[in-house]
Structure 1
């Protein structure tokens, strides 16, 4: 019974003690804040952060899921009172000023709950030593009758405060904090929209960078490979045309070389096109293309395919390249002995997970590390974010490594 009472009252009393200490600090800073806070932007920012801290502690005490915090204080210049009084987060944080009004009653409840029983036992045992100086229930003790009647009464009252009054007051305080300092639905919508804009801005920047790098790679491949082959082909055909009348055999040999060069140029051109949109996707679909990738992997691959439904072409290409790059990374860097690939439709999204039993330690870096790892994952992340997808990598040292990708299909 006593354990249950302490389990309820201990955290509640601790919560009330901490609220008292914060209220004392807030009360001490209140006069200066009222005079100078409108001039100091950092003061209003601190008040909003304090409000979010209070809501976090109240929610933790109640054992509830954490709610979205108040938006940060609106940026403003020193003395900008107009922006200050239009700042909804600041105005909502002003409810904190009610804390000092209840700090004394809450402290009294917490003190009675925590110290009432020990105080009663000490006073009952030592009243004879310090006769007239010990008190129980606020009454000076001068006889054993008073000690043996008021002492148990104080114990009962203290246990009642510890088990029921303090938890009720702490719960009421926490609920009031959550209600008074909670952002409105409009503010939450604004925060979600701002976060979404930031995510789209970042993904758009990454997509633009990735697209630019891809265009430069395609231009380089065409310039250094296919274009050079076509120039050589044109020169051979020109020379063959000039020598055809005087030396038909040499012209025929040049035409044979030109035919071989044309075939080589076609192969290189197909290779470039394959990196843009693999033809196997059009021929065999996403499931067949991924199956072919897994079959060609030198490591044992267990492929699990769920129902994919209709998948847009950009999503198909992104999923194909994610699997291709992942299998390449696993083969080169992971020292794995087995790979699991799962691909299925989850609602309006395509879910993809690649897991290997290798050494782990994979990281997403803009530049390759000393082992040549990381940059491929960075490019993969840009490819996924370009179509508003999400990618998560879990790769502790020692493995296993799991790459999860969610691609929107709606």
Structure 2
């Protein structure tokens, strides 16, 4: 019971205390901010603060961090925070300090009778100490376990609702997201085409040119030196097989045949089995997955395992893939050194560019990718891919 109360009350009290500090900062900055509200930097600062508050509220409620407010006028709701900050801090202090203060008062009142208080009353006798002390403990635990969480929940809900973007702003945000993902998809598609063209030009095409030359020479030598012509034809056959293997390799990067042969679960299982590091694969119910989503999920796992093997110095990898509603959820976690970042250019350790390409591949089908990689690890790549209804 006590564990449940602490697990509910301490996060709620911490959330309310931090909101008090924010409200205090808003109160201090309010006069100057209202005078200088015509400055773009001041207006942008209030909007950013409103977005931060809404994000914190979403995290406390365990909800996805939704896009923040784009409107300065909507962000002005934040100026009401100082009005509720003081009573919310009062509740948080009672929740956290009430029970320890009661225990201290029950034990120490004798040192200075009349100057220790319990339930707001001065304590002058053991009867008062042993009566008011337990009562204050019960009240404090009630506030900690139920009062503070209820107040924090209402505060977070109110912040999310008041600072939520309007329908027009949400539409604008969505258009910006789609424009960005479309641009990323176009860039990724162009880079993929250039890579395929380079692979075909440098590999397969060179093999086919060499193959044609050998066959031509063998044809000319057929009458005068049949044995040498036969050897050239054997070499040409080997070259043809090599060219076919290289062509298959190029095709696998477009849509791996193993997906068609074994399905997404079997293909990912094969990737994990081939990884040189120990991999724990947890597969949930996947349902019907579109081909584009299958390919994206497969390449995310492949690229993630490659990155872990090359750069993370990890000893173990955990892969989770399951269906969550209308989305395919995928998470790859390693216990390596961390510090991975998404960038167009690789860092000094060669990391980043692969994650950037992975992000483009995910966004191309309207998916989401989140990277958590603090210095020292662990690193987690989470991907949510839409699968339709």
Q: In the superposition, relative to structure 1, how do residues 24 and 303 fare at CA in structure 2: closer, same or farther (>3 Å)? A: closer
Cross-structure match for 1:279: 257
1:342 aligns with 2:320: yes
CA distance in 1, matches of 2:351, 2:21: 50
* SS of structure 2 residue aligned to 1:310: coil
Cross-structure match for 2:336: 358
* SS of structure 1 residue aligned to 2:347: coil
Q: In the superposition, relative to structure 1, how do residues 188 and 337 fare at CA in structure 2: closer, same or farther (>3 Å)? A: same
- Alignment of structure 1 residues 92-171 onto 2, 5 Å: none
* SS of structure 2 residue aligned to 1:217: helix
CA distance in 1, matches of 2:350, 2:250: 24
CA distance in 1, matches of 2:27, 2:355: 51
CA distance in 2, matches of 1:55, 1:15: 13
Which of 331, 339, 362 is equivalent to 1:384?
362
Cross-structure match for 1:326: 304
Cross-structure match for 1:253: 231
1:310 aligns with 2:288: yes
CA distance in 1, matches of 2:181, 2:256: 24
CA distance in 1, matches of 2:313, 2:26: 54
Q: In the superposition, relative to structure 1, how do residues 242 and 401 fare at CA in structure 2: closer, same or farther (>3 Å)? A: same
1:205 aligns with 2:183: yes
Residue by residue over 1:86-122, the C-alpha shift from the partner in whole angstroms, topping out at 9 and shown as x without a partner, is: xxx49x979x9xx9xxx9xxxxxxxxxxxxxxxxxxx
How far off its partner does 1:222 sit? 0.2
Cross-structure match for 2:169: 191
How far off its partner does 1:25 sit? 6.2
Equivalent pair of 1:389/1:406 in contact (CA under 8 Å): yes
Q: In the superposition, relative to structure 1, how do residues 383 and 67 fare at CA in structure 2: closer, same or farther (>3 Å)? A: closer
CA distance in 1, matches of 2:367, 2:329: 10
CA distance in 2, matches of 1:206, 1:20: 42
CA distance in 2, matches of 1:294, 1:17: 52
- Alignment of structure 1 residues 369-380 onto 2, 5 Å: 369-380=347-358
How far off its partner does 1:54 sit? 9.3
* SS of structure 2 residue aligned to 1:340: strand
Q: In the superposition, relative to structure 1, how do residues 251 and 361 fare at CA in structure 2: closer, same or farther (>3 Å)? A: same
* SS of structure 1 residue aligned to 2:166: helix
Q: In the superposition, relative to structure 1, how do residues 360 and 254 fare at CA in structure 2: closer, same or farther (>3 Å)? A: same
CA distance in 2, matches of 1:249, 1:235: 17
Equivalent pair of 1:237/1:254 in contact (CA under 8 Å): yes
Q: In the superposition, relative to structure 1, how do residues 246 and 296 fare at CA in structure 2: closer, same or farther (>3 Å)? A: same
* SS of structure 1 residue aligned to 2:273: helix
Q: Which has the larger radius of gyration?
A: 1
CA distance in 1, matches of 2:257, 2:386: 22
How far off its partner does 1:71 sit? 3.9
Residue by residue over 1:135-162, the C-alpha shift from the partner in whole angstroms, topping out at 9 and shown as x without a partner, is: xxxxxxxxxxxxxxxxxxxxxxxxxxxx
Residue by residue over 1:372-407, the C-alpha shift from the partner in whole angstroms, topping out at 9 and shown as x without a partner, is: 111111111111111111111111111111111101
Equivalent pair of 1:306/1:344 in contact (CA under 8 Å): yes
How far off its partner does 1:367 sit? 1.1
Cross-structure match for 1:368: 346
CA distance in 2, matches of 1:196, 1:16: 31
TM-score with structure 1 length normalisation? Answer: 0.61
CA distance in 2, matches of 1:252, 1:224: 27
Cross-structure match for 2:71: 72
Q: In the superposition, relative to structure 1, how do residues 193 and 242 fare at CA in structure 2: closer, same or farther (>3 Å)? A: same
Equivalent pair of 1:48/1:93 in contact (CA under 8 Å): no
Which of 264, 271, 289 is equivalent to 1:293?
271
TM-score with structure 2 length normalisation? Answer: 0.64
Cross-structure match for 1:147: none
Structure 1's consecutive aligned runs of 4 or more residues displaced over 6 angstroms after TM superposition are 13-27, 47-57, 64-69
Equivalent pair of 1:49/1:72 in contact (CA under 8 Å): no
CA distance in 1, matches of 2:358, 2:343: 11
How far off its partner does 1:227 sit? 0.4
Q: In the superposition, relative to structure 1, how do residues 51 and 329 fare at CA in structure 2: closer, same or farther (>3 Å)? A: closer
How far off its partner does 1:52 sit? 9.3
Equivalent pair of 2:278/2:317 in contact (CA under 8 Å): yes
Runs of 5+ consecutive residues of structure 1 not aligned to the other structure: 1-10, 74-88, 104-174
Residue by residue over 1:310-368, the C-alpha shift from the partner in whole angstroms, topping out at 9 and shown as x without a partner, is: 10111101100111111111111111111111000000000001111111111112111
Runs of 5+ consecutive residues of structure 2 not aligned to the other structure: 1-17, 84-154
Equivalent residue pairs, number: 292
